[in-house]
Structure 1
Amino acid sequence: MTAEVTPDRALRVLQRVVFPGADLDVVPLYVETHMDRGAAELAAEMATEALTGRRAANAGSVPVANAAVGEAQSIIRFGADVPAYLAEDAGPRRSAVISEGRRVSFATYFNAFPASYWRRWTTVDSVTLRIRLAGESTVILYRSTARGFSHPVETISVTSDEPETIERTLPLTPFIDGGWYWFDIVAGPRGTTLIEAEWVGLAEPAQAGRLSIGITTFNRPDFLLDLVRTLGDAPELQDLLDTVYVIDQGSNRVSNHPGFGDAAKKLGDRLQVIEQGNIGGSGGFSRAMDETVRAGRSDYVLLLDDDIKVDTEGIVRAATFADLTRRPTIVGGHMFSMYDRSLLHAFAEA
């Protein structure tokens, strides 16, 4: 079953399933290979609550444990370990090869679909999961509740070794106070290739909003230039990004760094470095907002720190979410620990 497209509503990609780049410390945020870990933690928490009448002291604050990278990579291969034609077909970071007989789950931070958020804040009332894969396999769709209970929605068998597309439309109506959708894949005896997957929804046909990015920096040119390279290397931002405003308030100017020219090359004239005195982080961000409004080209301005590693898929998702909210909304992001990369550090304004 797929969503019905009408003259006043068209399908739009809400969230693409992606895999990490070279940083294997964050694999658990994208794909789960330890299938019993989450269930065991939930069972222990529920048992404690049943015996004591109250939640465990650390409930809800358990960090995402690091997967054994070697084991994860033997179960599912992505990035440089997948055939080059997959990246050419679906784009970078979209495809993976799952070893024969192994099971992986996308009940993860980046790849599960936050159904309750979309129901609460946007005009979207259903979501369609679209998966393209090749090889005998079983796909299991799941949903969860606000209390963390989960149950299967549908089990789909794939018997062809040729590429096949599966689409299932799922309602958002049940997600009043919390819950997610996700899927697991069990590979067949010859392994399975996930070519690409995405969550799409019906929305009013309209041009997607564009954004500018404001970054305040103070004597951190190395961090800042790493971030500029990340933004310039992201093909998914090319049709979305107007201008990157770097508000340099330090004495060690980023424009004087020997690596500045190379880092700025791909952004070209979309990168604007504005040098001013140090009036604090809020002063720098205010300048970026003012420049964005004065330019009059962007629908949104996204504010970023200078010392972060950003997944650019998150930028695309934030802009898409903002496009489809019921009313103009500040869309916040989450921050993970720089030292324990899969540990959620702050919820920000989300």
Structure 2
Amino acid sequence: MFEIQRIVGPVLKGSERLFLEYTGKCPKQENQNGQTVFDLEEGTKVSFGTYFNALFPRYAEEAYGTGTYRFECEAIGNGFLSLEASEGGKEKSNLYGKEIKQGKNRISIEFEVKKGGSGFIYPVVEAKKGGLRFSSGRFLTLNNKERNGRLAVCICTFKREEYLIANLKAWAQDSEIVKRAVFYISDNGQTLKPRDLPSGCEFRLFPNPNLGGSGGFARAFLEAKDEGKCDYYLFCDDDAIVHPESIFRTLAFFDSKKDPDAYLLSGAMLDFRRPLEAVEVGAKFLIGDSRVKSFYLGANLSDSVDLDSISKAERNKNANYSAFFFTGFAERKGTDSDLYPPYFLRGDDITFGLSRSRNGVEVLTYPGLAVWHEPFYSKTNSWVEHYSYRNSGIVHLLFHEGGPWGLIRVYFVRFYIFLYTFQYENLRAALEGIHQILAGPEEFVKLDLQQKHSELMGRYTPEEVWSGQKPRTSMISKILGFLFLPVSILSLNTISIPYLRRPINRSAGALSILLDGAGASVTLDYDERREPVYIRKKDFFRSFRLALSALLTIVEVLIRHRRLSESWKREARHFSSETFWRSKLAPYR
């Protein structure tokens, strides 16, 4: 028998409904050594049927197996406690109910997790006369634990001290994490000193050159592996908020496994700007057309319908990698690890995950393994497009066994949209990234990562930002756009109405972009979830030059695809290896 998850409170304002729902007054909450104490005033009722605090039987079955589970808690005061099960979003059943009377009440409830179960199980607490204090809520499995392992939390940071220090302070308040986790911090910005970091956690700080996330995670991992104090590893981004409970559940998961190296544990990414909204809860890289499919994108994890969908765990069955904002894994001692090429950023986690999932490692997620992170839609720099197209193309060549047509289709559609909406710098960056692939792996591996990144940062012109209110489309503009749509599609929007300015919502999809941009000479590109609106102006000659360059690039990829795939697969065995990274990092260790 051992503890697998605890009833906890929020760490980020705006995320409260991922932890509890209540009627009456909001309960006061206090963290006591990793446990959250909830003080309820008379008449307050709290349900913990939420993403972080409910037990989801289907996930519990995958992680810990079927059988008998237990819920335990302490309650002081007067009230009523029940353990409920939700099925299908609306159907609920009561598994247990107990009147709580004055004094300390220790409560223990056993229930069964059966094969193929869905829904979720959770406590509900109601305070009566004099109020109620609820604490030490936790779920346990009566199955055996395999070990009491230690976790190496590997963090790559670059001048984001505020996130890192806030996380370390929160983790240091949890005695279980303090006892069982060691934090290996690769400081790519070389701005941190040990005295800058809060006390309480055991950490190792390593000044590192700016080799991107790829080099930073590799450095932290190798330092942890060489020290040999830990049984498991967790890669974790520096610009994310990570609840201590996510680390606790990672430890519980791997402790339960006879062969922990057979699993890749994937955390969910929640939107830092919209704390209830998922950016992804598991993901699949579609190798044939070189793009990521994020599961549950935009799902509101406080909504009963979305929560019920997640409880069935159907989409996550197809996950084949785990993003490095939260990735847990284990390695057999004494073996060399497969890592990833020196991408700098973007694609390292995909390569890392695909190489494992193809060798039989199972990619799993578990509710409550989550971070709040800056969402993908907020990162719109042209140099990001360079890395995205270059590195996802390399991943395609490393793992795809078929022809190029899926990749060609994606290139054609995306390049067309770039041209149609006058995103010239983004298209130029994407094409230059693909040209690096065409130059071959021998040239790629010679790149000076720091120098190349500095060049990219200065190469692409910053986009002009709209300073007025978020634009709206007038009825006249809509009519003109509709009439001009056939001409715009055929001409890549180079034949348009002079001075016509049209807003384009890039989050609405390709068809909406075509309609919104038709006939425009200037586009105001926005995403309803972010602040900046970018001004993009038509340049006929630039459209023509880039269209020709894009077409020639697509033709070259089509012609050389098979030989490129063979050469990249052959060379990747070298520059994705642990030996390669040890050699590359040796001067700095």
How high is the TM-score relative to the length of structure 2? 0.45
- Residue 12 of structure 1: aligned partner: 2
- What residue identity is the alignment partner of 2:187? D
| 2:27 aligns with one of 47, 68, 76 | 76
Name the counterpart of 1:284.
216
Matches within 5 A, 1:13-92: 13-21=3-11, 23-33=12-22, 74-79=25-30, 87=32, 91=33
Matches within 5 A, 1:89-104: 91=33, 93-104=35-46
Whole-angstrom distance in 2 between the partners of 1:228 and 1:157: 39
1:205-258 Cα shifts (integer Å, max 9, x gaps): 5441111111111232333333333333432312111x31111223xx2325xx
State the Cα distance separating 1:327 from its structure 2 match: 4.2
Unaligned runs of 5+ in 2: 283-321, 323-364, 366-589
Task: For residue 155 of structure 1, report the CA deviation from its aligned partner.
Answer: 4.1
Is contact 2:81–2:100 with CA below 8 Å preserved after alignment?
A: no
Sort the Cα spacing of 1:137 and 1:272 in 2 relative to 1 into closer, same or farther, 3 A.
same
> Does residue 1:182 correspond to 2:114, yes or no?
no
Match of 2:105 among 164, 167, 176: 164
Contact kept, 8 Å, 1:236 with 1:313, in 2: the verdict is no
Q: How does 1:230-249 map to 2 (within 5 A)?
A: 230-241=170-181, 243-249=182-188
Runs of 5+ consecutive residues of structure 1 not aligned to the other structure: 1-10, 35-70, 81-86
Query: If you compute each CA radius of gyration, which structure gives the higher value, 1 or 2?
Result: 2
Q: Tell me the C-alpha RMSD between the 2 structures.
A: 2.4
- Change over 3 Å in CA distance of 1:315–1:168 after alignment to 2: same
Residue-by-residue CA offset, 1:310-335 (whole Å, 9 max, x unaligned):
11111011110122146431111112
CA contact (8 A) 2:53 2:122 kept: yes
Counting helix residues as a fraction of each chain, which structure ranks higher?
2
Q: Distance in 1 between matches of 2:199 and 2:98?
A: 47
Could you tell me which amino acid in structure 1 is paired with residue 68 of structure 2? S
Task: Select the structure with the greater relative contact order (CA < 8 A; seq sep ≥ 6).
Answer: 1
Return the alpha-carbon distance in structure 2 between the equivalents of residues 132 and 150 of structure 1: 27
2:151 is equivalent to residue 211 of structure 1: yes
User: Offset of 1:120 from its aligned partner?
Assistant: 2.1
2:254 is paired with a residue of what secondary structure?
helix
Query: How many angstroms apart in 1 are the aligned matches of 2:250 and 2:279?
Result: 19
For each residue in 1:74-117, what CA deviation from the matched residue of structure 2 results, as whole angstroms up to 9, or x when unmatched? 2422128xxxxxx4xxx454211212122210001211112211
Deviation at residue 304 of structure 1 after TM alignment: 0.8
Aligned equivalents of 1:180, 1:32: Cα separation in 2: 15
Matches within 5 A, 1:260-271: 261-267=195-201, 270-271=202-203
| Distance (whole Å) between structure 1 residues aligned to residue 192 and residue 100 of structure 2 | 56
Aligned to 1:308: 240
- The answer to whether the aligner puts 1:293 opposite 2:282 as a matched pair is no
User: For 2:20, what is the secondary structure of its paired residue?
Assistant: coil
CA distance in 2, matches of 1:226, 1:186: 33
Distance 1:266 1:326, change over 3 A: closer
Q: Give the 3-state SS of the residue equivalent to 1:290 in structure 2.
A: helix
What do the CA deviations read for 1:18-64 (whole angstroms, capped 9, x no partner)?
1235x442221211116xxxxxxxxxxxxxxxxxxxxxxxxxxxxxx
Alpha-carbon distance between aligned partners in 2 of 1:276 and 1:159, rounded to the nearest angstrom: 56
Tell me how far apart the structure 2 counterparts of residues 220 and 110 of structure 1 sit (CA, whole Å).
26
Query: Which residue in 2 is equivalent to 1:347?
Result: 281
Aligned residue type for 1:112 = A
Percent identity (aligned):
23
| Deviation of the 1:296 alpha carbon | 1.6
Name which of structure 1's ranges 148-157 and 182-191 shifts more when overlaid on structure 2.
148-157
C-alpha contact (below 8 Å) 1:78/1:93 kept by paired residues: no
Indicate the SS of the match to 1:332. Answer: strand
| Residues 165 and 322 (structure 1), Cα distance of their counterparts in 2 relative to 1, 3 Å cut | same
In 2, are the aligned partners of 1:143 and 1:181 still within 8 Å (CA)?
A: yes
Tell me the equivalent position of 2:192: 255
Asked if structure 1 preserves the Cα contact closer than 8 Å seen for 2:96 and 2:109, the reply is: no
- TM superposition shift of 1:345: 2.2
Contact 1:103 1:187 in 2 (8 A): yes
1:274/1:262 CA distance change after superposition, 3 Å: closer
Letter matched to residue 213 of structure 2:
G
- Structure 2 equivalent of residue 274 of structure 1: 206
SS at match of 1:209: coil
Question: How many angstroms does 1:285 deviate by?
Answer: 1.5
